[in-house]
Chain A
Amino acid sequence: MQKFEQHNGIVAPLDRANVDTDMIIPKQFLKSIKRSGFGPNLFDELRYLDEGQPDQDCSGRPLNTEFVLNQDRYQGCSILLARENFGCGSSREHAPWALDDFGFRVVIAPSYAEIFYNNCFKNGLLPIVLSETEVDELFAGVEATEGYQLQIDLHKQQVVTPGGKTFSFEVDEFRKHCLLNGLDDIGLTLQHADAINAYEAKRSQEAPWLFSSFK
């Protein structure tokens, strides 16, 4: 997994609540058996005027010029500013894969759906929770200033605005540790193999029916 320590980037505002993972990456693209290549189809139905197909070359497709990612001022963006309950719906990890593949490293929103939130950390993408008021303030800032950038510091757990204002955010210790060090959590869990074996030994005595096989 890629490490995350600090990041500086252009902010793209997606002013819409309850953005679901079907919207982030529509189902026809879930047929891929790979983890990469989803970027061109991120927000496909909002971004293009036609219906996208898997494995299609997107460069010639008609763009919805009103959609934020198609506007000149947000080109090169890597921080997505969003509204509440971002990433709700389907558990598809293709959603953070698509955000990551497009070039996003950070999402900022007042709240997230849990599975999506979890999935972000597994992919080196940092989902930051700020209060409604702070998010409102950032939306106003992005609106007012072209090329609006934010500085994100995971060590200090801070978002710094161009004007030097800082907002603190919470992040779970374990997740922070994994992200800062780019750690693979399977490897970490396997360090507890003895504990898992001990649990299984005890549990299979108490509840043997949980350990029978599907044959």
Chain B
Amino acid sequence: MAGKTLYDKLWDAHLVKQQEDGSALLYIDLQLLHEVTSPQAFEGLRLAGRQPWRLSGNLATPDHNVPTTAKEREIGVEGIEDPVSKIQVKTLDDNCDEFGITEFKMKDLRQGIVHVVGPEQGATLPGMTVVCGDSHTSTHGAFGALAHGIGTSEVEHVLATQCLIAKKMKNMLVRVDGQLQPGVTAKDVVLAIIGKIGTAGGTGYAVEFGGEAIRSLSIEGRMTVCNMAIEAGARAGMVAVDDNTIEYVKGRPFAPQGDDWDKAVAAWSDLHSDDDAEFDVTVILNGSEIKPQVTWGTSPEMVLPVDATVPDPSQEADPTKKQGIERALEYMGLEANQAIESIQLDRVFIGSCTNSRIEDLREAAAVVKGHTVASTLKQALVVPGSGLVKTQAEAEGLDKIFIEAGLEWREPGCSMCLAMNADKLGQGEHCASTSNRNFEGRQGFGGRTHLVSPAMAAAAAIAGHFVDVREFNGYNG
């Protein structure tokens, strides 16, 4: 019999009951909650007179709606100016208080984007099952965990039963061989993967990312890759546990300690696919060929290396694809065959659960240091992923580097990633963004998003248009 994949092992370890009809009850170790997808779940619980199954299996923090200016943040939830956002954040606070769920509220230094907070606190651990009413829950797979997004009805189901009704997915291995070139980051790797397999390429699969280039990424880089697994259609992305994973987890507030730590480390050493494991599909990329990536269209698969030109629909034979390109070019206000480097920018956003951790901020700061943001830019925002990331960045003086270069330094939250708070694009504006979705209107009505790495966003902020960060004057990575 063939060996097991990492996903097989995680699945087996959490199987509570296999039903005859093919569905299964899967035990959930950790559910993360935020204000947007939880109110209706708590309401459902209340209406049915149910209690959470296990309080300690849940951790909450508001992130999507929270304002990011210091002034609006000063007094906590009462200071939120948008009345509708305020109600939503308050509802999360009230629900967590009522049911007794631990929440990092707005004024808590530990507050931040759920997918930054979980790993930072050691709440996310190797070998866990992690869910959240948020598709980017795949981020936590970087720790050798089975982590994926769920809908609000499922949030309620997990609250009430600590289980999920699930069906086993198929196994896909995405192997990135070789070494990355300097200036090419985890974000470029995952964009290149999505460009290769498409936004539906991973549908139905749990994707394991492996290969030399993935193994050489830091844990935060692996989080960036797993974060965008969903943009390739895969609910769950994961990377095997190695010494770096264990090193990263060690000493975090909720990580096991003492005897438990030793036991845990021993258990985690098995969290990789067996040598003879079989994958349903294997996709291979050569890491040394990946260049810095920029999305030009309205879907993450519409991505190209920075030195490329925007596609020409007249060269596309498939009518549906041709129509897709035409529509995207029109929405994005681009001409066929236009050089990516010629795209002029209005705003730059460095943040989101994809790229708002300390290493991302260091990467961006290294590029902007000693430069000034282009005068043609309306705004360049840096939004750290959590209060602790912000504190760390300030201790390293990164905030000063950004501010001196003319970027704004904000309070933690999702911010312009989905523009539920006041940070958004105006109609027709082009934005170099380190977030994960370039859908129409995602960052604001009529806004035009280009997804890039933090280093590329930083270089674009200085130049006012896209530039290849590998050739960018002053780049010292």
A186 CA to B25 CA, complexed, in Å: 11
Determine the chain A residues whose CB is within 8 A of the CB of B439 once the complex forms. 20, 22-23, 89
Partner of B299, one of A18, A28, A214, A215: A18
Q: Which of B281-300 contact A (CB under 8 A)?
A: 299
Determine the chain A residues whose CB is within 8 A of the CB of B441 once the complex forms. 22-23, 26, 45
Q: Which of B384-414 contact A (CB under 8 A)?
A: none
Q: Does A123 contact B (CB under 8 A)?
A: yes
Q: Does A143 contact B (CB under 8 A)?
A: no
Could you tell me how many residues of chain B have their Cβ less than 8 Å away from some Cβ of chain A? 81
A119 touches B203 (CB 8 A): no
A211 CA to B27 CA, complexed, in Å: 12
Determine the chain A residues whose CB is within 8 A of the CB of B320 once the complex forms. 17, 83
Nearest residue (CB) in A for B134 is A91
Nearest residue (CB) in A for B156 is A186
A196 CA to B26 CA, complexed, in Å: 9
Determine the chain B residues whose CB is within 8 A of the CB of A16 once the complex forms. 327
B149 touches A89 (CB 8 A): no
Partner of A215, one of B102, B123, B165, B256: B102
Q: Does B99 contact A (CB under 8 A)?
A: no
B21 touches A211 (CB 8 A): no
CB distance from B366 to the nearest CB of A (A): 32
Q: Does B264 contact A (CB under 8 A)?
A: yes
Q: Mark B1-42, 1 if CB is under 8 A from A, else 0.
A: 000000000000000110101110101010000001101100
CB distance from B129 to the nearest CB of A (A): 10
Q: Does A88 contact B (CB under 8 A)?
A: yes
Determine the chain B residues whose CB is within 8 A of the CB of A203 once the complex forms. 27
A207 touches B56 (CB 8 A): no
A85 touches B200 (CB 8 A): yes
Q: Mark B144-164, 1 if CB is under 8 A from A, else 0.
A: 000001111110110011110
Nearest residue (CB) in B for A209 is B256
Partner of A27, one of B56, B121, B420: B420
Determine the chain B residues whose CB is within 8 A of the CB of A210 once the complex forms. 29, 125, 128
Q: Mark B310-331, 1 if CB is under 8 A from A, else 0.
A: 0000000000100010010000
Q: Mark A74-94, 1 if CB is under 8 A from B, else 0.
A: 000000000111001111110
A189 touches B88 (CB 8 A): no
**Interface 9-mer from B47-55, B70-78, B184-192, B371-379:** B47-55
CB distance from B222 to the nearest CB of A (A): 21
Q: Does A59 contact B (CB under 8 A)?
A: no
CB distance from A161 to the nearest CB of B (A): 23
Determine the chain B residues whose CB is within 8 A of the CB of A196 once the complex forms. 16, 25, 27, 53, 161-163
Contact of A207 with B267 at beta-carbon distance under 8 Å, contacts A85-B203, A91-B135, A123-B153 already known? yes
Nearest first, the 7 A-B pairs at minimum CB distance are A209-B256, A122-B153, A33-B39, A213-B56, A119-B151, A93-B151, A173-B21
24 A-B pairs whose Cβ atoms sit less than 8 Å apart in the complex:
A23-B439, A30-B64, A35-B40, A85-B199, A89-B439, A90-B135, A90-B418, A92-B151, A93-B151, A93-B153, A111-B203, A113-B200, A114-B204, A118-B151, A119-B152, A123-B153, A172-B23, A177-B21, A186-B160, A200-B27, A208-B263, A209-B264, A210-B29, A213-B55
Chain B interfacial positions (CB closer than 8 Å to A): 16-17, 19, 21-23, 25, 27, 29, 36-37, 39-40, 43, 48, 50, 53-56, 59, 64-65, 82, 84-85, 87-88, 91, 102, 121, 123, 125, 127-128, 133-135, 149-154, 156-157, 160-163, 165, 167, 199-200, 203-204, 230, 233, 235, 254-256, 260-261, 263-264, 267, 299, 320, 324, 327, 418-420, 437, 439-442, 445-446
> Given A33-B39, A119-B153, 11 more contacts at CB 8 Å?
A31-B82, A31-B88, A93-B153, A118-B150, A186-B161, A189-B161, A196-B25, A206-B267, A208-B263, A209-B125, A210-B29
